[in-house]
Structure 1
Amino acid sequence: MLSFMQVCSRHFVDGMPTKENPHPTLFAYNNFKEPLKCRSLVSINKRLQPTQAETREKLDKFVENVHEKEISESAIERQTLIRKADTPPNIDDSHGQLLMECSSTPPVAAEETILSLCETLDKVVQQCLPDHQYSSNTVNDNQCGPETVDRGMQTDIGMEEMAEFMDLKKRFENTNAIMRDLFIEKVTASDKSVKQYTGVPSKSMLNGLYDILDEASPNIKYWSGQCSAHETSYQENMEKRKSGPSRKLSKYEEFIITLIRLRLAVFTFFLADIFGVSNARVSQIFTTWVNFMYHILTPLLVWPSTPVIKKFLPKSFKLSYPNTVCIIDCTEFFIHKPRSPSAQSRTYSVYKHHNTYKALIGITPSEAIIFVSNLWGGNTSDRYITQHCGFLDNVRPGHEIMADRGFLIRDLLLEKGAKLVIPPFTKKCNWGKGKRLLQSDIIKTRRIANLRIHVERAIERLKNFNILSNTMPLTLKPLSNQILKVCAFLCNLQTPLVKK
């Protein structure tokens, strides 16, 4: 049985039994490989020598065939030359003569001729390329020839194009400027985008508002603390330059930053990244422009005269309450919880179950905001705010003030000769919960509620500015009154909600 056993060649180092390696040594347990130390260099050389010899033989045969082919081709060419020398050439057949000359040229000479032709062509192209560019860009071949080209004019045009190219290159190298320009272009692309980003109803109104502010104060100094408010030499002396680093942003861009922060309540680092400035610079710009807009725009929140109010009185008011001049209501704005316990108690609202600021808002029947009080703590009553915020200074005899049931200010208005219009209170009865409304009281309540709802709509517009609807950080406490009144003025720029 042993004589019929066979072993695969894979188990031998040389692929078969040899004198150097007669026994199989490669098996599965050693992955059919032998350690490098056990491998002999002689066996490796023997395995490599046959392949090298074969390749050498193939190369020698290929070279011999090439030489034989070249010798046969040269002999054929010589015979054709001898035959053509015996026959006279045909003078008329120029193309044939050219072909004969080209075919009779030796290979080496033909290569030299081609190289020389390429060199001459390169020289001609280098000499003629500028003239060709000038003529193709600025000269019409039908009007004038290449000799009448005005080189000076062509050079000037090239320099202008180069200058434009360099300006574009510098602009694209400044990535912050590119991002800033694209964002401003996106914000002011249409009336819809302007309203979404800034709260101003249209692009033309946005530009008009900026022109008013720019004309009011061409030079604005950044806010840098309470002491900087008394330094007026920079505003008064036009020749004196502003101290500190130069502005990276234009006044229009700073104006847009302020409106976007009021409308969207975005973080300062977001605006800093878009406009390519520091986080502190955005806060400084916002503080400066909010105070500046407050001083310019707040005087425009005026209480109009009675004839003007009645001129624009809607029909719904003319039928029921023609003497109404103002609708009032208090609204609250969420704030972060203060650290001081006394501040927590003053700002905590039982109605909202949160720390809030409270303000009194007054609108005309046509829904124009005409009065905005300063902010008070959320724990302050509506009567106290109405009595001490300066609202009663605008009330005249004969006025009717519409409000909710919570405003117990009838006695305060009687002192001014005015009338309070509020829904009627319930009366005592002997059944149910002990209180009831008469049928006439229910009709009156519905009528007043349908008219008083407009102040709620005005407050809703005011809170569309997210800086007021979101929870206000305590860092904005010094700017809270300015922010509220600036947003109230921006609401007046929108179209009235009440139809005539």
Structure 2
Amino acid sequence: MGHWCCVVGCHAKSHGRDGRKVDYSVRFFRFPTWKRGYGAQIEEITKRRREAWVAAVRRKDLTFYSISPFMRVCSRHFHKGQPAYEMMETDPDWAPSLHMGHSFVTLTNTARSERPIIKQEQLQEETPEMGVHQDADIGEVQIKKEEPDEEQRSEEGMLAAGDEGDRLKTEDETHEAGDEGDWLKTEDETHEAGDEGDWLKTEDETHEAGDEGDRLKTEDETHNIGQDVTRTECDLCVFRRAEVNRLLEENRKLRRELDQCRMSDGFFGEDDEKVKYYTGLPNLGTFMSLFHFLTPLMSDQKKILTPCQMLLLTLIRLRLDLPVQHLAHLFRVSPKTVYRTFNDMVSFLYTNLSHAIMGPDRDTLLKAMSQQFVDAFGQKVTVIIDCFEISTEKPSDLETRAQMFSSCKHSHTMKYLIGITPRGAISFLSKGWGGRTSDKHVLLNSDLLDCLLPGDIVLADRGFGIQERAGMLCAEVKLPELTGGRCQLAAGSVEETREMAHLRSHVKMVMGNVCQKYRMLTGTIPVSMILPCEGEEATMLDKVVSVCCVLTNHCPATV
């Protein structure tokens, strides 16, 4: 069945209409589920992650409680091509974030930004009209004040005319006198009076026309200013949008570079070789399985480092034995935080993983036994044992110094008894003893013999001196002069002896693998690590060796 991406604007799909696969490089992922019943922390984180996915896709038909099981998000929306592990909340791929259709700033609503400008234009349009009315009113007032002067002049003219006879007499006298200048003067006065009224009327019309022209001019100027403001506002929005998009892209780029440079939750990516180098585990799947198992057991107390970083710091210290100062620079913390984190995580791992070192039941042991052991010893070989030593600093106490000096290593060491199955899995580990302690003493004071059944065969070196104890028959293979067999086996041919020595060397290979894989065991252990922990019998070195053996069992067998 084909899949397609539900992100708005994304047209990625797995198959075409003809049913053939379209793009093999694109993968599709379901929405994360809300896990309940796994503890409060798991429930809260998974709920937040599901909400983050729904918010990132941002579709109207998609809610937290209604998500179709056929909805998928393709790998194009993740920086590393796939979603990060649910516990890595700080990883940029904890939720889809690329090409979501809404990650960039949308265009601004120009109509909304133009509303204040339109209101300002209306106010500016109303202001000139009010000025014209005021001017017109003032003009009318002025005209009304001047009109009584005209009426007064008219009345004076009428009174001067008075008696018609007198007027005619005056006219005759004037005509007879031939005073043309006076007539012209009277005509000029009449004309001037008419011109004065026309002048007043023309002045009012001119004033009104001028005010109307000023108002139209003001409207045009205001409209042009509004257009300039709108254009400037749009240009500013475009500039701001481009700047925001540039900063978003720069932020994404810097976050990717930072994740690649620092020891963060997404440091490994999908590189199994990087996981193998830094932790000793075979691949990323094994690391994530271990982390997924330990996360619910961790406390909810907030710390400087994330749970993934704490586990990663501990494994790197065990694997590469890096100096504390170097780890402090890698994880951007103080050396004191590195010491505290390492000690706490080793104790935590020892408490939750040490029970994994145990021998299998007889039926499983019989089914997994190789044919070489069956041909040489039958079906009774239970465990192959040997001791290995770890160098330590020279103690200041003389008695402790004498107990820890090893004549074989010519230095101060701690000795551990280790037992493996014929398949190469570590099934037993004792506590640490001083290097001077004999192998036989370590064996007799360990719990290994209490785990054996009558008839079980134990392959061991000459120094252990295994004998029948408490009704349990144990076989001894002596190296380098092998006399091997079932309870003092008779010497056979050289070829048979060499074959049994090869089987006995499996434990050497496993011990060498543990020390080679975790270099902290090959260095010089400080005296502080061989002191018993507060309130416990085990030392910090006992916990470290136990954790290294458990992690080795998670790797492919060497035999």
The TM-score with structure 2 as length reference comes to 0.52
- Note the 1:289-300 alignment, pairs <5 A: 289-300=345-356
Superimposed CA distance per residue, residues 438-475 of structure 1 (whole angstroms, 9 cap, x where no aligned partner) = 97264443122110111001001110211101111112
Q: In 2, Cα distance between the equivalents of 1:251 and 1:351?
A: 42
Q: What aligned pairs does 1:59-458 form with structure 2 within 5 A after superposition?
A: 128=231, 131=234, 161=245, 164=248, 181=262, 185=266, 187=268, 189-219=270-300, 242=301, 247-322=303-378, 323-412=380-469, 415-423=470-478, 440=492, 442-458=494-510
* Deviation at residue 423 of structure 1 after TM alignment: 3.2
Tell me the equivalent position of 1:494. 555
Instruction: Find the aligned partners of 1:282 and 1:485 in 2 and give their Cα distance.
Output: 21
Shift of 1:264: 0.7
In the aligned structure 2, how far is the partner of 1:404 from the partner of 1:441? Answer: 19
Change (3 A) 1:291 1:332: same
- Choose which of 460, 471, 491 in structure 1 pairs with 2:524: 471
Per-residue CA distance 1:275-315 (angstroms, 9 max, x = gap): 11111110000000000000000011121111111111112
Per the alignment, in what secondary structure is the counterpart of residue 461 of structure 2?
coil
1:196-254 superposed Cα distances (whole Å, 9 cap, x missing partner): 111111101001101101122343xxxxxxxxxxxxxxxxxxxxxx5xxx633111001
Letter in 2 for 1:315: Q
| Structure 1 SS opposite 2:497 | helix
Q: Deviations over 1:304-332 (max 9, x none)?
A: 11111111111211211232111000011
Q: Is the alpha carbon distance of 1:342 and 1:254 closer, same or farther for their aligned partners in structure 2, counting shifts above 3 Å?
A: same
Aligned 8 A contact 2:263 2:309 in 1:
no
SS class of match (2:468): helix
TM-score (norm 1): 0.58
Q: 1:403·1:452 contact (CA, 8 Å) conserved in 2?
A: yes
TM-superposed deviation, 1:161: 3.9
Distance 1:419 1:453, change over 3 A: same
Q: Check the 8 A contact 2:454/2:473 in 1, yes or no.
A: yes
The count of residues paired between Structure 1 and Structure 2 equals: 318
Q: Kindly tell me: are residues 454 and 126 of structure 1, through their superposed partners in 2, closer, same or farther at Cα, counting changes over 3 Å?
A: farther
User: In the aligned structure 2, how far is the partner of 1:416 from the partner of 1:351?
Assistant: 33
SS of match in other structure, 2:558: coil
**Residues 425/253 of structure 1: CA separation in 2 closer, same or farther (3 Å cut):** closer
2:541 corresponds to which of 460, 465, 480: 480
> CA shift at 1:419, angstroms?
2.1
Deviation at 1:366, TM superposition (A): 0.2
Q: Is the 8 A contact 2:416 2:430 kept in 1?
A: yes
Deviation at 1:389, TM superposition (A): 1.6
Instruction: Quote the Cα distance in structure 2 between the aligned partners of 1:356 and 1:282.
Output: 26
**C-alpha contact (below 8 Å) 1:358/1:375 kept by paired residues:** yes
1:371 partner amino acid: F
- Describe the SS at the equivalent of 1:326: strand
**What displacement does 1:166 show?**
8.6
Separation in structure 2 between the aligned mates of residue 425 and residue 454 of structure 1, nearest angstrom: 15
- Counterpart Cα distance in 2 of 1:202 and 1:259: 14
C-alpha contact 2:259 2:267 (8 A) present in aligned 1: no
Change (3 A) 1:317 1:130: farther
2: distance between equivalents of 1:485 and 1:352?
22
CA gap 1:389/1:159 in 2 versus in 1, 3 angstroms: farther
Task: Describe the shift of the 1:300–1:438 C-alpha distance in structure 2 as closer, same or farther (beyond 3 A).
Answer: closer
Give the partner amino acid of 1:289.
Answer: M
* Aligned-partner residue type, residue 462 of structure 1: V
CA separation of 1:368/1:426 partners in 2, compared to 1, >3 Å: closer, same or farther?
A: closer
Aligned partner of residue 416 in structure 2, secondary structure? strand
**Cα distance change on mapping 1:159 and 1:438 into 2, 3 Å:** same
Percentage of identical aligned residues: 27
- The residue number in structure 2 matching 1:58 is none
CA distance in 1, matches of 2:282, 2:493: 40
| Residue identity in the other structure for 1:368 | A
Deviation per residue, 1:159-200 (Å, 9 max, x gap):
97478469559969xx9x667636765555511111111111
Structure 2 CA distance for partners of 1:198 and 1:450, relative to 1, 3 Å: same
Deviations 1:405-463 (A, max 9, x none): 11102133xx2423213138969xxxxxxxxx997264443122110111001001110
Structure 2: which amino acid aligns with 1:279?
Answer: P
Q: Distance in 2 between matches of 1:471 and 1:383?
A: 25
Report Cα offsets for 1:370-418 as digits up to 9, x if no partner. 1011110000011110111211111111211011111102133xx2423
Residue pair 2:376, 2:500 contacting (<8 A) in 1 also: no
Provide the C-alpha distance between the structure 2 equivalents of 1:481 and 1:320, rounded to a whole number of angstroms.
34
Deviation track 1:476-497 (CA, whole Å, cap 9, x = no partner) reads 2231000000000000011122
CA distance in 2, matches of 1:452, 1:130: 85
Q: Aligned AA for 1:358?
A: K
Q: Is 2:455–2:472's contact at 8 Å kept on the other side of the alignment? A: yes
Distance 1:442-1:345 versus aligned 2 partners, 3 A rule: farther
Cα distance in structure 1, aligned partners of 2:407 and 2:270: 45
Q: Which residue of 2 aligns with 1:110?
A: none
Preserved CA contact (<8 Å) 2:275 2:282? yes
Structure showing greater radius of gyration is 2
SS in 2 for 1:201: coil
The question of whether the paired residues in 2 share the 8 Å contact of 1:334 and 1:470 is answered with yes
Residues 115-149 of structure 1 deviation map (CA, whole Å, 9 limit, x = unaligned): xxxxxxxx9999757747978x9xxxxxxxxxxxx
Decide whether aligned partners of structure 1 residues 347 and 187 sit closer, same or farther in structure 2, where only a CA change above 3 A counts: farther
| Whole-angstrom CA distance in 1 between matches of 2:434 and 2:493 | 34
- Higher relative contact order (CA closer than 8 Å, sequence separation 6+): 1
Q: 1:424–1:444: 8 Å Cα contact kept in structure 2?
A: no
2 CA distance for matches of 1:439 and 1:305?
31
* Aligned residues of 1:325 and 1:399 also touching (Cα < 8 A): yes
State the alpha-carbon separation in 2 of the partners of residues 179 and 439 from structure 1.
61
Query: In structure 2, what residue type is equivalent to 1:440?
Result: G
Kept in 1, the 8 Å contact 2:479–2:501? The answer is no
Q: Is the 8 A contact 2:424 2:507 kept in 1?
A: yes
Cα distance in 2 between the residues matched to 1:179 and 1:272: 17
